[in-house]
Structures are given as structure tokens and as C-alpha cells.
Amino acid sequence: MSAVTLVVHNQRPNAAELAREAAEWLSARGHEVRMPEVDAEVIGMPDLGVPDEKLAHDVALAVSLGGDGTMLRTVDLVEEGEVPVLGVNVGLLGYLTEVESNALTPALERFFAGDYGIEDRMMLSVTIRSRRSVLDGWSFRALNEAVVEKTQSGHTVRMLVRIGGDVFTSYAADGLIVATPTGSTAYSLSARGPIVSPRHRALLLTPVSPHMLFDRSLVLDPGETLSLEVIGHRPATLSVDGTSVGELGEGDVVDCAPADRSARLVTFGQRNFHRILKAKFGLSDR
């Protein structure tokens, strides 16, 4: 039978209970269940824990039990194996999750019966160039965004932006967000960036509290690349999908481009992104 990876929100008891139920259901039908070692310890099933590098190897499905943050973590753990990810919402309404917690068993039944679809989501490739930092050459993939932002309260950070290798302009701001369409409803949205259909392919550049007249987001063709260079003496920090990577200094560059692979999200029928938006913002029909 198939191997299935479960990834669990560690601070939600109902997510842990759901993981135990899912593990029992899968095991009873002959499926191998794997979990990140820390998750397996939290839910009291340490025998299911495996090293992270085994979570995507020969795995038919990854199940995310939590919210959008857990989805990002799950995608990060299994995307190299191009494993389809089923998002199960445990808590608040999420943009990325596909089913509610009470529908997990029917969703698993449908998946193993072949009654499902796959929605490919563009991911972001993020690479650091530095002449003095150990971060030089480090690369990451992100489903939502990469953020370069200030480290010191009360100060801005200055960044020079290049588009396709050509200088665009310099920014004085609290930070700059480079987002995918999926990430347009995350940090970029809170910085007044545009909402973009997740099925679209584009790069979004959104400044955070810019101290300049030009304060608009840019929506760029996916064939274009973005480079963010720290200029001036104030350091900046880089985070990728909400995880801090490290500190950047003057002359350090973050290159962003579409990744060479997509996140593969399990769907059951056409996913109605606009309906999710309406529910999230409490929009009426009239």
C-alpha cells in the first residue's frame, strides 16, 4: 500500500487528535504513516517519526492538519518529491486548506479512489548573494513570499531593486515583500498589496511602509526576475514563508524568480477562490 505523511500543528490539541485518528484509519487499511519526528512526539506516536529527508521519499500523499502556516510547512517538507498535499483546516478559515476537519476521512477515501484533482501553485526561488556572509549561495523555495525588512526599530532599510538585471529604483521602507499569487493574501495583503488569483503566474513586489512618494505594488511577468540589494549601513533580515533565514548587510543581494517546480495541492472539484475571499472578509452579495 501507499505511504502517507502527516504534518500537524503542534499547538492545537484538536489537530493532534485528528492526526491520531488519521494514523489509525490509514494503518488499518495497510498504509504506512510517516510524521516529522517532533510531531510524532507531540501526539504520542513516536514510532511514526522519521527524519525530514524521508517525509517525501516514495510518498503518495502529504496531509496538513492545521492552518495555512501548517500548509506552508508541509509544502516545504515534501515539495522536492512533488508530493500532493491535502490541506485540512483545523481552526480558523484558511486560504490554502481544502477540507474541514470533519471531512478528513471522506477526503482520504476519495483520494485513494482516484477521485481528486491537482492544482499547481507557482513557487518562488530565492537565492542569496553575499561577498562576506556564510549565507552566500543559500537558496530556498517559497509558496507565499520572501521578505527583506529592517532589523532596527524606528529605522528604515534602504534597498536597490533590479528588474531583469536593470536598475528600477531604490526604496527606503520598513521592508520589501516578493510574493507569489498564492502569497498575495498573506503578508503582502496586510501591506496593501493586490489580491491575485492563485492560478495566475506572476511576481508581486510590495513595499512595507515606504518612506517615499512611490508606494505602489508591482505585478510582474513570471519571466522577469527581481534582485533586492541592501544599500546603506543599516542591516536587514531575510525571511522565507515566515521563517527567518538570517541577517543581510550592505551589498548583499536576494534574487527572486519563479521556481522550477510547483506546489501540488489536492482539490475535490473546482476550488472557488472568490468564495473563500467572500467568507474571509464577510462580503455580502449586494
**Residue 75 neighbours by CB distance under 10 Å:** 28
- Here the cell at position 192 is 496593501
Structural contact between residues 125 and 139, judged by C-beta atoms closer than 8 angstroms:
yes
**Residue 4 neighbours by CB distance under 10 Å:** 24
Q: List CB contacts of 142: < 8 A, sequence separation 6 or more.
A: 123, 124, 126, 180, 183, 240, 241
Structural contact between residues 55 and 77, judged by C-beta atoms closer than 8 angstroms:
yes
**DSSP three-state, residue 260:** coil
CA distance 194 to 135: 31
CA distance 192 to 215: 10
Residue 195: DSSP 8-state: P
CB hemisphere CA count around 16 (13 angstroms) = 13
Residue 56: DSSP 8-state: S
Q: Which of 39, 52, 58, 68 is catalytic?
A: 68
Residue type for 18, please? L
CA distance 263 to 256: 17
On the 0-12 / 13-18 / 19+ scale of CB atoms within 10 A, 160 is: middle
Q: Where are the alpha helices (DSSP H) in 133-183?
A: none
Is 221 catalytic? The answer is: no
Q: Cite the active site residues.
A: 68
